[in-house]
Structures are given as structure tokens and as C-alpha cells.
Amino acid sequence: MVEEKVEHTIEALLQERRTFEPPGPFASQANAGDPSIYERANQDPDAWWASQAEELDWFHKWDTVFEGGFPHHKWFVGGKLNASYNCLDRHLASAGDRVAYHWIGEPGEERTITYKALYEDVCRLANVLTELGVARGDRVGIYLPMIPELPVAMLACARIGAPHSVVFGGFSADSLRDRMNDGGAKVLITADGGYRRGDIVPLKQNSDKAIAESPSIERVVVVKRTGEDVSMQEGRDLWYHDLIADASPERDAESMDSEDILYLLYTSGTTGKPKGIVHTTGGYMTGVSSTHRLIFDIKPDRDVYWCAADIGWVTGHSYIVYGPLANGCTSILYEGAPDWPDKDRWWSIVEEYGVSILYTAPTAIRAHMKWGTEYPAKHDLSSLRLLGTVGEPINPEAWVWYQEFIGGGKTPVVDTWWQTETGAIMINPLPGITTLKPGSATKPFPGVFADVVDDKGKPVGKGGGGYLVLTRPTPPMFRTIWGDEQRYLDTYFSRFGRDTYFPGDGAKLDEDGDFWLLGRVDDVMNIAGHRISTYEVESALVDHKAVAESAVVGRQDPKEGERIVAFVTPKAGREGDETLLQELRAHVAEVIGKIARPHAIIFTDDLPKTRSGKIMRRLLRDVAEGRELGDVTTLLNAPILDEIRGKSDALKAAGEEE
């Protein structure tokens, strides 16, 4: 499959030959302006990473920078620090009055939170959590909308050494339950609700449903956000505002070991339940602060930085919370949707707050492209000096549109490749040094060792395509999967051996040795920049009483990105009609969350299978993408494919909606 994909994509890429040198005025002021840092980091990666770790405040310095290698590595061994201290306390003397977050609620409220105020709120909640019996090492679940209490909750956990497990507010009760149970969380912090496109997301209701089957949760702390009526269970549920009212705004930060867990964050894998990615303290904080400072060229006293992701995903953890706060910079925190109340909401925020750096995903850029240039054109966006993207391969047209219509044709655009597992950006341009190519993430960050290899693990060299690998550990990478070490080894370190990390992505190297990412090569789909496995959606579908069997594939669409297409065989006696289609979409939303709803569902009496009964997803992918079919000789039931193909016209129409 990767060969096919590589072939496909190379054609498109070869047509994209434009390059952009760093603009002179940008280069001369850049945090990373000297190309020799690559050489320095290559020659002595440990010394390089140590120099980045030194930018943090350590209670006790490490004894060794790096121990071990893939799959087991440790960083800054013996070092002691606290993530919340690095994000807050150390800025108080020089920048306590600096704004940490300009918060903007979807309905229109605005709140300005200084470092001092954030520090006090974090200390209060840290004290509350201790009162509630949360001790060092206990896990705390967080299920909140994009409100200031979300970073406060994360930092309060970090302050007392309790790993947090944030669950994206768009996930369902079932998803929340599974994550709470896997992590064994003791306390859940949630809200009465959140706003999304004018609607209310019933977070407390979902929490109640989840907790009914999450026996480890002892207490629930509820933030009042919408003021909706919610049921509060006596003895279990407590209002956030009542708890912090009397709490002290001072609290020492625990001295944590560099390798102590900072947080768990769940992400989709190819099979089975979501994986609890385990991030530690010293290496993670080093990675996120260093990449944030150098890639986004942060000037903490001047920049207004906006990462328009949701904190529920890793992008928000690393580049809304830990990276920006460690660097003492001012960020925008926006609660809502980009098109609410109108499609220029983002651009009015950029104008009003003078945003200088914007980091978002290709899916958002494509949505703005679709809505039209009149929306950005209505606003003065001249404060922007740097743009970034993450989450999926960015098509060159979208890259160029972003630079032209948002960046005024002058800003560098940094395409950053990384994953929940890597914790921080791994492949990216440095905007004061790197020649940019629309569609390429260019080069590994200093101290990151990446390559592209073939099936046998042999480097393909310049001009070749194959599998992306990382050949040496970096500090911010995850250490294991929570409670499942074997799955950690099997998923990431079996394909090319124990000493090579396989992220699951295809890639190509061009003649300059620059990296072009080609998307996933496994059964993980990338939906609007978020990872959803075909297996999860299939399980949700067959969980419905009318479904006998299902197969799910991703359909690549150059305009829309990847879309979920489901092939479903209803049980005898059930019609595959519009009613069932809507029921199934609603059911998937219920089991996983709205983002996992199939965009199209094709009902079929049978699925193409091999003689041994394996569903041939490869052929279904061909059907979904309207390609010539691949090899069908091993098929048991070849005629069914013609039937399915006949229905593929209907595919465009069925169930397509945002």
C-alpha cells in the first residue's frame, strides 16, 4: 500500500517546485538564525539537548543527560523539577503582570489572565485536590471545554505530581468511561456544559453516565460554565467555585523526578482500545519549550501567540499549555468554532488582539479556503509574522493560500510533523534558517534523527519513498503505553526492530533530503487532523443491533482531507435505508464522538473477503476513492465488488455533512 501511495503522491509533489527563502528581516531577528545548530546537534545530540534543558528551572540538576536507547530511554536522569513551577513561579518576579491567556468565550465574554492570576488559581486548585485526597501519582481525569479552568486543572495536577488524563470535550460518555477506567482516575474535573456553535455540550450529563461505570472515580469537581441545570450527586459532586473560594493561593510545587509521569493522553491505535500515551516531566518539558521557542520564534514580551487547537489533543497540551507557558509568552485561548457567529471569527480575534503567530491545522485552512477570501479580507491581519500548521499533510495549494491570504504573502509558514507519541514537533523548518517548500515539513529538528526506509528497513536515500522512522530517542518522546508495555513494543518497535521507532507514516525524501509526509500507512485514519482507527468505527457500527458486519476505510479527498466511508451489511430483516443510515451515524457519535461519524455509508449484502474470511479493505479503499481495483484474484466473492461499485455513485450523496 505504501508504494501505491508514494507513487500517487510523488507526481503531485514534483509539480510543486516553488521555494521560499527566509525573509531577510525575519532571519536577522530569529531565535534560531545560525544554521550551524544542526551540525552542533548532530555531532553531540546529548550536549544539544542538555543546552535546551538548561533553559528550564531545575530544583536539582541531572546526573546524566541520556541513558539507554530505543525502546527504553531516560532523560536528565537524577534531575528534579516541576512542570507547573516552570510554567508559572519562575515568571512571577519578572513577568507576573504579563498576560498568560487572553480568553475568549464563544458567546463573546473575554477574560485576561496574568501569570500571577494563573499561578494563584493553580495553587488554589492544587490545595483543593490535596483536600480531596489526591496524592502524588494518583491520576486525575479532566473533561472540560476550552475555558481557563482547563489549563488551571492540568497545572494544578502537575503541581502536586498527579498525572492528568484529559479527555477531549467532543468525546462521548463511553469514550470518557473507557479512558477513566484504563487510567484508574480517582477524581474527575468537568463542567456543567460547554458551548459549541451556539449549542450546549452536556459534559456533566456525559460524565454522570460515564462515572456510573467508572468505579475508581471518587469525587467529581464541576465548573459552572453554562449555568444549565445539572444533577449533583450528594457526597460525590462538588462545585469548583465553592471549593476554591476558601483555598489558599499559595502552594509549593512538588519536586518531581525528571522521569516521573506528567500526564497520560489517549490516542487511537490500529486495533483494540485507545492507547494511554505516557509522558514524563523533564524530557517532555525540554522538548516542548525548546521547539516552541525556536520554531515559533517566540519573543515572550512582544508576541501574541495563538495555537487554535483544542487542549483535548496533544497539540493543545504541548503548544497551548506547557510550551507557551514555560516560555512565558502571551497566548489566545478561544473556546468556540471558527465560524461562529460568522466565518470571520478568527480574523476578528487576530485583529483585535494583534496576534503575531498563528498555529493551526490544514483542515481548518481548507475550511477557510472554502468559505472564501472575503472573510480574512475584512480584517487587518498585518500583525501576523509567522504561521504554522500541523496534523496532516498540507497540500501545496492550501499552504500557498494560507501564506497569501492570511500571511499577506510575507510570513514564513512552518509545517510541523509530530505525534501524540513524540510529545513535541520532530520534523519542521526553522523559519529564520530553512528554505520553505509548500507541502514539505523539511528537516528534522536539531537533535532529532529521522530517515525514510523501505520494507526491509534499508534507507531509501534522496529521491526515494517509503516509511518514516526515528532512529534515536529524543527527550519529549513517550516512554510506554499505560499498563501495556507489550503493546508499546509491538506497535512501535516490531516492524524495523527494537532500536527503530516506526510512527506509522509514509514519507518521501526529495533531492535536497527534505521530508515530505504522505499520511498513515496503517489502519489509522486522519480525520480533520485527529486520529481515528478504522477498527474503532467498525466496532461502534457492529455494536448497533441492526448491523451484521462492517468495514471502514478512509477516503482521501484533496479538498476535504480524509473522510470516513463505512461499508455495512445489515442483519436480515433490516433495510439499508436512510433511517438506518441516520441511526448508525448517531450511534457512532454516541459510542465514540461526533468526529468519528462516517461521512458516507454504503449498505451491501456482503463484503469482499479472502478465502480465509479476511475483509479486503484495500479493495474497498479503491472503491471509495474511485480507483481501478487492485489484485482481486484471492477474492472469495468477487461479484460483490461490482455490486458495491455500482453503489459508489450514491456514496457522494449519502450522509455527507459536516
**In the complex, which residues of this chain contact ligand WTA (CB under 6 A)?**
267, 313-315, 390-393, 415-420, 441, 503-505, 517, 519-520, 526, 530-531
- β-partners of residue 450 are 470
Q: Specify the residue, 122 or 427, whose C-beta has the smaller distance to ligand WTA.
A: 427
Q: Measuring CA to CA, which residue among 115, 110, 527, 592 is closest to residue 335?
A: 110
Q: Specify the residue, 81 or 517, whose C-beta has the smaller distance to ligand WTA.
A: 517
Q: Is 382 exposed, middle or buried (0-12, 13-18, 19+ CB in 10 A)?
A: exposed
**CB 415 → ligand WTA: shortest distance, Å?**
5
- Residue carrying the nine cell digits 497551548: 320
Helix axes 203-211, 173-183, angle to 10 degrees: 50
Question: Quick one: cell of 501?
Answer: 521507532
* Local structure of 134: helix, strand or coil: coil
Contact between 211 and 220 (Cβ < 8 Å)? yes
Q: Specify the residue, 13 or 122, whose C-beta has the smaller distance to ligand WTA.
A: 13
Q: Specify the residue, 208 or 415, whose C-beta has the smaller distance to ligand WTA.
A: 415
Q: Specify the residue, 524 or 651, whose C-beta has the smaller distance to ligand WTA.
A: 524
Q: Specify the residue, 347 or 467, whose C-beta has the smaller distance to ligand WTA.
A: 467
**CB 468 → ligand WTA: shortest distance, Å?**
8
Q: Specify the residue, 314 or 616, whose C-beta has the smaller distance to ligand WTA.
A: 314
**Rounded Cα–Cα distance for residues 261 and 268 (Å):** 20
**CB 437 → ligand WTA: shortest distance, Å?**
13
* Local structure of 591: helix, strand or coil: helix
Q: Is 399 exposed, middle or buried (0-12, 13-18, 19+ CB in 10 A)?
A: buried
DSSP element (H, E) containing 531: strand 530-533
Alpha helix (H) residue ranges in 247-300: 282-295
Contact between 24 and 435 (Cβ < 8 Å)? no
Q: Specify the residue, 335 or 415, whose C-beta has the smaller distance to ligand WTA.
A: 415
**Rounded Cα–Cα distance for residues 281 and 262 (Å):** 5
Q: Specify the residue, 85 or 168, whose C-beta has the smaller distance to ligand WTA.
A: 168
Q: Specify the residue, 267 or 569, whose C-beta has the smaller distance to ligand WTA.
A: 267
**CB 161 → ligand WTA: shortest distance, Å?**
25
**CB 467 → ligand WTA: shortest distance, Å?**
12
- β-partners of residue 330 are 304
Q: Specify the residue, 265 or 607, whose C-beta has the smaller distance to ligand WTA.
A: 265
**CB 135 → ligand WTA: shortest distance, Å?**
30
Q: Specify the residue, 362 or 576, whose C-beta has the smaller distance to ligand WTA.
A: 362
Q: Is 137 exposed, middle or buried (0-12, 13-18, 19+ CB in 10 A)?
A: exposed
**CB 518 → ligand WTA: shortest distance, Å?**
8
Among left, alpha and beta (phi > 0; psi -120 to 50; other), residue 222 is beta
Contact between 159 and 131 (Cβ < 8 Å)? no
489 Cβ neighbours under 8 A, 6+ residues apart? 71, 498
Among left, alpha and beta (phi > 0; psi -120 to 50; other), residue 158 is alpha
**CB 464 → ligand WTA: shortest distance, Å?**
18
Q: Specify the residue, 226 or 420, whose C-beta has the smaller distance to ligand WTA.
A: 420
**CB 375 → ligand WTA: shortest distance, Å?**
24
Contact between 198 and 190 (Cβ < 8 Å)? no
**CA distances (Å), 401 to each of 214, 383, 394, 406, in order?**
46, 18, 11, 8
**CB 427 → ligand WTA: shortest distance, Å?**
7
**CB 438 → ligand WTA: shortest distance, Å?**
12
**Rounded Cα–Cα distance for residues 508 and 3 (Å):** 11
Contact between 320 and 151 (Cβ < 8 Å)? yes
**CB 614 → ligand WTA: shortest distance, Å?**
25
658 Cβ neighbours under 8 A, 6+ residues apart? none
Q: What are phi and psi of 636, to 5 degrees?
A: -80, -40
Q: Specify the residue, 390 or 615, whose C-beta has the smaller distance to ligand WTA.
A: 390
**CB 299 → ligand WTA: shortest distance, Å?**
24
**CB 390 → ligand WTA: shortest distance, Å?**
5
Torsion angle, alpha carbons of 163, 168, 173, 175, to 10: -70
Q: What is the largest CA-CA distance in the chain?
A: 74
**Rounded Cα–Cα distance for residues 117 and 102 (Å):** 12
Q: Specify the residue, 119 or 515, whose C-beta has the smaller distance to ligand WTA.
A: 515
**Rounded Cα–Cα distance for residues 103 and 225 (Å):** 14
459 Cβ neighbours under 8 A, 6+ residues apart? 451, 452, 453
Question: Quick one: cell of 250?
Answer: 499559595
Question: Quick one: cell of 135?
Answer: 496524592
**Rounded Cα–Cα distance for residues 434 and 399 (Å):** 16
**CB 279 → ligand WTA: shortest distance, Å?**
12
Q: Specify the residue, 344 or 522, whose C-beta has the smaller distance to ligand WTA.
A: 522
**Rounded Cα–Cα distance for residues 590 and 291 (Å):** 37
**CB 403 → ligand WTA: shortest distance, Å?**
15
